[in-house]
Amino acid sequence: MSDARKDRPTSRRSFLAAAAGAGALATTGRAQAQGQKPDPLITEPQDWNRFLGPGVDAAPYGKPSRFEAGVVRRHVGWLTADTISSINFTPLHQLDGIVTPNGLCFERHHAGVPEIEPGKHRLMVHGLVEKPLVFTMDDLKRFPGRVNKLYFLECAANGGMEWRGAQLNGCQFTHGMIHNVWYTGVPLKTLLDEAGMRTNGKWLLAEGADASLMTRSIPIEKAMKDCLVVWAMNGEALRPEQGYPLRLVVPGWEGNMWIKWLRRLEIGDQPWQQREETSKYTDLLADGRSRRFTFVMDAKSVVTNPSPQAPLRQKGPNVLTGLAWSGRGAITRVDVSIDGGRNWRNARIDGPVLPMSLTRFYVDFDWQGEDMLIQSRAMDETGYVQPTKDELRKVRGVNSIYHNNGIQTWHVKPNGETENVEIL
């Protein structure tokens, strides 16, 4: 303990020494060369090295610095009739890397967040099975074959407000119905194998325990392939907003199918035609027909910085960054344009590139106040290329809400202010 304290730059002398050892030296040198006054933030002691801070008992569960209080989920008041059935969006422009912190994961509920006592929660497996089963949370945590997987969850309605043109000013609102989380749980297949599926079992119905009784039909091939029943996110118990104590994970498929507060799995021989797969989560085409059971989330990307909530503040070197993802597998390439899609350059992908997970990209660039129309375009391992919004409308018309994966344009003005626009 005492050794560690010795190294802390608590005195003025050691603080200066630490600064001189780091890149701060260059700044000090330049300031003096220009005959400027020395920066008191470097030459004078500050409160934080004059006084002791709070002890280890101050925060049994840690929170971000109070200077980060503006990094929060946000909702759009006029979008829904009330906050019980609404959306709180992920602040994508304030995050980096690929993992979404638990407290900032977007939340979407149809009947608010239930408070479920884990000891009273049950998961029932029944229908076309040899042996109907009921699991407690303890049963599930004793089940063999536990796995950890990083997956994005995107609501099919992400970007739905933008189908007919640019509307919401910020990637938090245009693209923030997405999060990327490490899940811990068991493969759904192991539970279904335990129950012994009958050969005529072709579909699975998943049901939540909240007051919306959210239900979705899932083809059995998907259920057996890679779906998970999970109780932990990013290493700790699921947050109430994300389905505590148990949720279904349906990698790469529309977020609506990821049933939270999961309490029932029924095996059947056909889909159930529930509200969420008939009246909702379908897209009306121009010819009057509807696209239905559109499960997969196609490849998509967005530049998170700069963006309307994160304008450019300084000329010179700047870092452009964003996220790309695909429900069909891994991202293989991201291109970025600063002239509205006339010329493209390859973005640098950094960090793990995992199938059905967010992927982080960067372009380091020099900005001298030029007007820019910034776009990004994702490509996945199936060769699928993210379409423009116009290409999408040519095929789907303008009645859709769901599955808007068109290329986003941000207009960066000479003063750095950035706006959501569309190029006609």
The site for Co ion (CB under 5 A) is made up of 108, 155, 255-256
Among 256, 332, 386, 408, the residue binding ligand MTE under the rule CB under 6 A is 256
The answer to whether 380 contacts ligand MTE (rule: CB under 6 A) is no
Q: How far is the CB of 247 from ligand MTE (least distance, A)?
A: 7
The answer to whether 386 contacts ligand MTE (rule: CB under 6 A) is no
- Whole-angstrom Cα distance, residue 368 to residue 10? 40
Which of Co ion, ligand MTE, none lies near 410, with the C-beta cut-off 5 to 8 A by kind? none
For ligand MTE, the nearest residue by Cβ is: 208
Among 172, 174, 180, 242, the residue binding ligand MTE under the rule CB under 6 A is 242
The answer to whether 212 contacts ligand MTE (rule: CB under 6 A) is yes
CB-CB neighbours of 2 under 10 Å:
5
Distance of CA 153 to the CA centre of its chain: 6
The answer to whether 214 contacts ligand MTE (rule: CB under 6 A) is yes
Q: Which stretch binds ligand MTE (CB under 6 A): 106-114, 188-196, 289-297, 389-397?
A: 106-114
The answer to whether 108 contacts ligand MTE (rule: CB under 6 A) is yes
The answer to whether 152 contacts ligand MTE (rule: CB under 6 A) is no
Residue nearer to Co ion on the CB measure, 349 or 401: 401
**For every residue of the chain, which 3-state class applies, written as one string?**
CHHHHHHCCCCHHHHHHHHHHCCHHHHHHHHHHCCCCCCHHHHCCCHHHHCCCCCCCCCCCCCCCHHHCCCCCECCHHHCCCCCCEEEECCHHHCCCCCCCHHHCCEEECCCCCCCCHHHCEEEEEECECCCEEEEHHHHHCCCCCEEEEEEEECCCCCHHHCCCCCCCCHHHHHCCEEEEEEEEEEHHHHHHHHCECCCCCEEEEEECCCCCCEEEEEHHHHHHCCEEEEEECCEECCHHHCCCCEEECCCECHHHCCCCEEEEEEECCCCCCHHHCCCCCEECCCCCEECCCCECCCEEEEEECECCECCCCCEEEEEEEEEECCCCCEEEEEEECECCCCCEECEEECCCCCCCCEEEEEEEEECCCCEEEEEEEEECCCCECCCHHHHHHHHCCCCCCCCCCCCEEEECCCCCEEEECCC
Find the binding residues for ligand MTE in span 6-65 (CB under 6 A): none
Amino acid symbol at 385: V
Q: How far is the CB of 87 from Co ion (least distance, A)?
A: 8
Q: Which stretch binds ligand MTE (CB under 6 A): 17-25, 31-39, 47-55, 251-259?
A: 251-259
Among 95, 99, 104, 106, the residue binding ligand MTE under the rule CB under 6 A is 106
How far does the chain reach from its first CA to its final CA, in angstroms? 63
The answer to whether 307 contacts ligand MTE (rule: CB under 6 A) is no
Residue nearer to ligand MTE on the CB measure, 184 or 256: 256
Residue nearer to ligand MTE on the CB measure, 256 or 420: 256
| Spatial CA neighbour of 85 closest among 75, 94, 95 | 75
The answer to whether 295 contacts ligand MTE (rule: CB under 6 A) is no
The answer to whether 92 contacts ligand MTE (rule: CB under 6 A) is no
The answer to whether 300 contacts ligand MTE (rule: CB under 6 A) is no
Among 183, 253, 261, 410, the residue binding ligand MTE under the rule CB under 6 A is 261
The answer to whether 208 contacts ligand MTE (rule: CB under 6 A) is yes
Q: Which residues pair with 366 in a beta bridge?
A: 317
The answer to whether 264 contacts ligand MTE (rule: CB under 6 A) is no
Q: How far is the CB of 27 from ligand MTE (least distance, A)?
A: 42
Q: Which stretch binds ligand MTE (CB under 6 A): 15-23, 34-42, 51-59, 107-115?
A: 107-115
Q: How far is the CB of 34 from ligand MTE (least distance, A)?
A: 51
The residues binding ligand MTE (CB under 6 A) are 105-110, 153, 155, 179, 208, 210, 212, 214, 241-242, 255-256, 258-261
